[in-house]
Structures are given as structure tokens and as C-alpha cells.
Amino acid sequence: MEDKRYTRREFIRTASFTALAGLSVPLLSSCSREEAEDFLQKNFREMTAEEKKQMIAKLEQRYLKKYGKEFQISTQEALPNTLWGYGLDLSRCIGCRRCVYACVKENNNSRNKRQSHWIRVLRLKRGNLTKLDESEHYYNPSLVPEEGFTYMPVQCQQCENPPCVKVCPVHATWKEPDGLVVVDYNWCIGCRYCMAACPYKGRVFNWGEPTIPKDEVNSSVHYLGNRPRMKSAVDKCTFCIQRVREGRYPACVEACPTGTRKFGNLLDPNSEIRYIIDNKRTFRLKEDLNTEPKFYYFFEA
Amino acid sequence: MKRLTKAILVGTILLGIYFMSFAKGAEEEFPVAPPPMPEGSFPCSNCHASLEVNRKKRELKEEHTQIKLRHAENLRWCLDCHNSNNRDKLRLYNGELISFTASYRLCGECHGTVYRDWKAGIHGKRTGYFSGGKRTYYLCVNCHNPHDPKFKPIKPEPPPLRPLE
């Protein structure tokens, strides 16, 4: 005959369940209904079509209230047979940073005193292309290009083997079938592991609530791309997912005054990016890390 | 035997015509941006139709004074590229007249490798939709002043703030 009594393990289990339930009630009731809904929202990849629709409707309403604009939030999936690739002509970049600010505008980046930039233009002494630690990105001469310098814009390289995705503890970031590395900003917990893992400094953290002037808000957005973000979410370049999945060039490509930036489908033998790979001298940044970037730097000659 | 030669002759001519039509078709049309003309300057024939053609290389003192030729200027003068009788057209080396929207063909006569890259979309700039929509290809002259083609330095946008600013 065995005594029917609590083991220590059972006691701890019951006690912790009770404590958890007791804690979570005030936790969820102390925040607004909106916040509670956000808290319980699923990861984008686990949502059904119906759930996505509801979530988009909710977001569109919220943005309308906040920015006074009708938003069109796309959840368009990757097109079949596409793998997006980027080309950048180092012999032509003059370091004018037009791309940086076109990107901020297109992608609803924060315009706080410290703007959040997804493109960083490095200035290197001519002939020192491999010495990235000697690069400078705060240069500010009256005119560019300067004698004896090369400029090298760096942004997310959309790696085929992305280290940032590997380290995310909550699967808030992943590689889409068309090769774009995206973030579900709602699912992101802001731990910034991905920023530490990225060898290209391609990710940016929203330290504060992002501010966007109402008249500058871009209302044509993608859920995984340029929708307005919130505090403590990590964001990054997506090659303008909202544009390229509709067949449009990214904003930085259109802004560049020297035509340095090229874009195309790596799986289409007639695309511009394939012409570059076939005919030009190309390299990818930090190839030795085996990240397999889809961002090709090339030279005119 | 005579009939055979005739047949071969006719065949050769037909083949020639076929290939020539092919070569002509290779000159594709591109959705180019409008060439940058000073306002009110086009059509050129508005003024030039009533003027006599002066082929002498000289400094222009009355009109077009803002044009400073810095493009192999020792070898070249206006009428090497602009057609003398019909000023609304440009003139290729072989005498073919082309419109200003096809000026890339004229540039390509000297800058062949760049022209090849431009046609593939590598040199130059394209905007709009790369598939399934309206696109625009910038002409050579949208970025390079044809009379002074070297790209001029510009003012950069402000740098990002340093961590302690």
C-alpha cells in the first residue's frame, strides 16, 4: 500500500502553474486590448490565410489612425522561379549617398534625430579595397568623388546561407523562397543576436519609437518589408520586397545618379545581373565566411 | 546547267535580302527617356531652317554661347554630329539621319564597348518596372552632356551621426 501524497515534483509543478496563471492575468489585463492582441499574434509563417487577412485589416486601421493615410499592406508571396540578385559597380559609385536617403524614404525608416539607415557607404583609399577595417563612413567633403578614394555601399547582402537567421532564438527572421531575408517585426523580441551575427552590419535596431513625418509616409507597403515598425524591432534591407515582387526596381537603383546599382533575377539568363556575372569581374563581400551573398560588386572594365 | 546557275543566283540574292532585313531588325528600339534639351530649343529647324549653313569651325558668339565643347574638340565640330540640312536630326558616319531619341547609336559609333553594356542595361540607368510594366532607359545624354561628357562632382548627402553625437 502506498501513501497517496504529493511528491516534491508535483508540488513544484502545481505551484508554478498557479503562479504563472496568477501573473499572466494582471499582465494581460494591465495592457490595452490592442497590445494584448499583438502579444498573442502568431508568427507570420504559421498564420492561415484568414488570420493574415484579419491581421492586415487591423494593421491598416491602426496605420490610418496614426498617419491619416489609407495603407495597402501586401502579403504577396515570392514569385515562382525567382532568386533576386544585386549588382554594384565599384568603378562608378561616387559616394553621394543619394541611395541612403531614397531608401529611408521608401522604407518608412525612422526620421528621429538619428535616422535609421539600411545602406552604409564606405570610403576606402584607392587600392585598399580589402582593408575594410580602415574604411570610413562619416566622410563629408564638399564634393564627391574625391581624388584617390573608392566608395563601397554596403547593405544587407541577402545571403543564401544567412548567419543572422541561424542565431535568431525565436525564428522571427527567415529566408524567403526568392532569396530575400525578412523579419516578422511583431515576432521579433529585440535581442539583437542577428545584429551581432551579421558580418556586414546589415541590420538596424529601433532603439526608440520610430518617427515618420505624416506627409512623407509611404503607404504602399509589404508586411515583411517597409511597413512602419515599432520600438525594439530589428529591421533591414529587403531589396524593397514591396517593389521587386511587383517587377519594379528597388528605390536605391532608381535613385542612383550614376547608374551604379543593378538588379535582376539570378535564375533568368537574360537578366541584367546574369550579364554582369557572365561578363564582368565580380566579387562578393567576405566570401571566405561561406555566407553566399547575392550581392555582387563588379568593375566596369 | 544555265537554269541551275540562275537558280543559285536568285537564291543568293534572296538570302542576301533575308540577312539584310535581319541586320536592320537588330537595331532595336528602346523605351528611352526624353533627351535633355534647353527649353524652347527644339525643333532646331525653327531657327536653322532660315539660316545659311556655315561649315567653318569658329567660336559661336551670338547663339549657343553656353556650349563649351570639351569632347575631342580638336577633331570635331558641330556638323560632325548635327546634320547640316535638317537640324532636327543627328547624323551617323554612314550618312544615316537619326532622331535625337536614338542618339545612343551616334555615341556608340565611338564608344562601342560602353554601347554594348548600355544595351544590356549595365552601363547607364533604367527605372520603372523590369518586368510587366512601364520602364525607362536613360539616354547617354541624360547623364553625360554630349558637348562636355565628363561626369561633374556633386555635393554628397549628409553622413550618419556618430555614436556620441
Same-domain check for residues A23 and A165: no
Residue from A134, A154, A139, A149 nearest A296 by CA: A154
Decide if A272 and B133 are in contact by the 8 Å CB cutoff: no
| 3-state class (DSSP) for residue B141 | helix
Q: Do B127 and A94 touch (CB under 8 A)?
A: no
Cell numbers 494591465 label which residue? A30
Task: Note whether A103 and A249 are within 8 A (CB).
Answer: no
Contacts of B158 in chain A (CB under 8 A): 97, 140
Q: Where are the beta strands (DSSP E) in B2-145?
A: 90-91, 97-98, 126-128, 135-137
Residues of A with Cβ-Cβ distance to B151 under 8 angstroms: 94, 258
Q: Do A259 and B125 touch (CB under 8 A)?
A: yes
Residue A61 domain-assigned (yes or no): no
Name residue, grid cell 546574369: A274
On the question of pLDDT at A78 being above 50, the answer is yes
pLDDT on residue A37 = 81
B36 and B141 Cβ atoms separated by less than 8 Å? yes
- Res B25: pLDDT: 45
One domain for residues A35 and A90: no
> Which segments within chain A are labelled E, that is strand?
72-74, 84-89, 120-125, 149-154, 173-175, 181-183, 203-205, 220-222, 234-236, 261-265, 281-283, 295-299
Smallest Cβ–Cβ distance between B127 and the set A249, A262, A300 belongs to A249
- Mean of pLDDT over chain A: 93
Measure CB to CB from residue B127 to each of A142, A143, A254 and give the nearest one. Answer: A254
- Burial of residue A156, with CB atoms counted within 10 A of its CB: 0-12 exposed, 13-18 middle, 19 or more buried: buried
Residue A157, domain member (yes or no): yes
Spatial separation of the C-alpha atoms in residues A167 and A197, rounded to whole Å: 7
Query: For B153, which of A143, A247, A259 is closest by C-beta distance?
Result: A143
A254 part of contact set with chain B, CB < 8 Å:
yes
Across the range A245-260, mean pLDDT stands at: 96
Residue A197 pLDDT class (50, 70, 90 cuts): very high
The CA distance from B90 to the nearest CA of chain A, in Å, is: 25
Tell me the pTM: 0.86
Any CB–CB contact under 8 A between B154 and chain A? yes
Q: pLDDT tens for residues B11-49? A: 666 555 555 554 444 457 899 999 998 888 889 999 898
A69, part of any domain: no
Domains in chain A, number = 2
Q: Are residues A9 and A90 in the same domain?
A: no
A148/A269 same-domain check: yes
Q: Which of A260, A126, A250, A132 is nearest to A199 (CA)?
A: A132
Chain B residues with beta carbon closer than 8 angstroms to that of A263? 130
Q: Is A254 part of a structural domain of the chain?
A: yes
Q: Which residues of B touch A100 (CB under 8 A)?
A: 157, 160
Q: What is the pLDDT of residue A8?
A: 79
Q: Which of A138, A262, A264 sits opposite B159 (nearest CB)?
A: A138
Return the pLDDT at A293: 97
A94 at B interface, C-beta within 8 A: yes
Tell me whether A280 touches chain B (CB under 8 Å).
yes
Q: State phi, psi for A207 to the nearest 5 degrees.
A: -70, -35
Which residues of chain B neighbour A114 with C-beta distances below 8 Å? Answer: 160-161, 165
Q: 3-class DSSP state for residue A124?
A: strand
Angle, in degrees to the nearest 10, between helices B103-110 and B112-119: 140
Closest-CA distance, A189 to chain B, in angstroms, reads 23
A14-18's contacts with Cβ under 8 Å and 24+ in sequence apart are none
Residue A289, chain B, CB below 8 Å: the answer is no
Shortest alpha-carbon distance between residue A29 and chain B (Å): 38
**How many of the other CB atoms lie within 10 Å of CB of A280?**
19
Q: Which residues, including other chains, have CB under 8 Å from residue B26's CB and lie 6 or more apart?
A: none
Question: How many helices and strands, by DSSP H and E, does chain A display?
Answer: 9, 12
Q: Is pLDDT of A68 > 90?
A: yes
pLDDT at position A21: 75
Give me the residue label for grid cell 502568431.
A42
pLDDT at A2: 54
Does A36 share its domain with A181?
Answer: no
Query: Cβ contacts (< 8 Å) between A271 and chain B: which residues?
Result: 130
Q: A295 and A211, same structural domain?
A: yes
Chain A interface, best mutation among B113, B122, B142, by max A CB count within 10 A: B122
> Is the pLDDT assigned to residue B1 strictly greater than 80?
no
Mean pLDDT value across residues A75-91: 96
How many beta carbons lie within 10 A of that of residue B131, not counting itself?
Answer: 15
Separation in Å, CA B146 to CA A205, B67, B89, B104, B140? 45, 10, 15, 11, 8
Chain B residues 103-142 with a CB less than 8 Å from chain A:
117, 120-133, 138
Residues A150 and A13 in one domain: no
Which pLDDT score, from 0 to 100, does residue A22 have? 73
Residues A233, A301, single domain; the answer is yes
Q: Residue A59 domain-assigned?
A: no
**Are A83 and A26 members of one domain?**
no
Write the CATH number for A229.
3.30.70.20
Cβ contacts of A117 on chain B, cutoff 8 Å = 160
Kindly report, residue by residue over B95-147, the tens digit of the pLDDT.
999 999 999 999 999 999 999 999 999 999 999 999 989 999 999 999 999 99
**pLDDT for the residue numbered A299:** 92
User: Same structural domain for residues A30 and A86?
Assistant: no
For residue B102, give how far its alpha carbon lies from the nearest alpha carbon of chain A (Å).
19
Counting residues of chain A whose pLDDT is more than 90, the rounded percentage is 82
- A155: which chain B residues are within 8 Å (Cβ-Cβ)? none
Helix (H) or strand (E) holding A53: helix A49-67
Q: How far apart are CA A272 and CA B117, in angstroms?
A: 10
Domain with A136 in it: 76-301
- pLDDT band of residue A137 (cuts 50, 70, 90) is very high
- Count the residues in chain B: 165
Shared domain for A134 and A282, answered yes or no, is yes
8 Å CB contact of B162 and A272: no
In whole angstroms, give the CA distance from residue A228 to residue A250.
Answer: 18
Burial of residue A112, with CB atoms counted within 10 A of its CB: 0-12 exposed, 13-18 middle, 19 or more buried: middle
pLDDT confidence bin for A14, thresholds 50/70/90: confident
| pLDDT tier at B10, thresholds 50, 70, 90 | low
- Residue A270 located in a structural domain: yes
Band of residue A15 on the pLDDT scale cut at 50, 70, 90? confident
Residue A96: pLDDT band with limits 50, 70, 90: very high
Element (H, E) at B79: helix B78-81
A243 in a domain, yes or no? yes
> Are B121 and B137 within 8 A, CB to CB?
yes
Q: What is the ipTM of this complex?
A: 0.84
**Residues A278, A148: one domain?**
yes
Q: What is the DSSP string of B43-69?
A: STHHHHTTSPP--------SS-TT---
Residue A63 maps to a domain? no
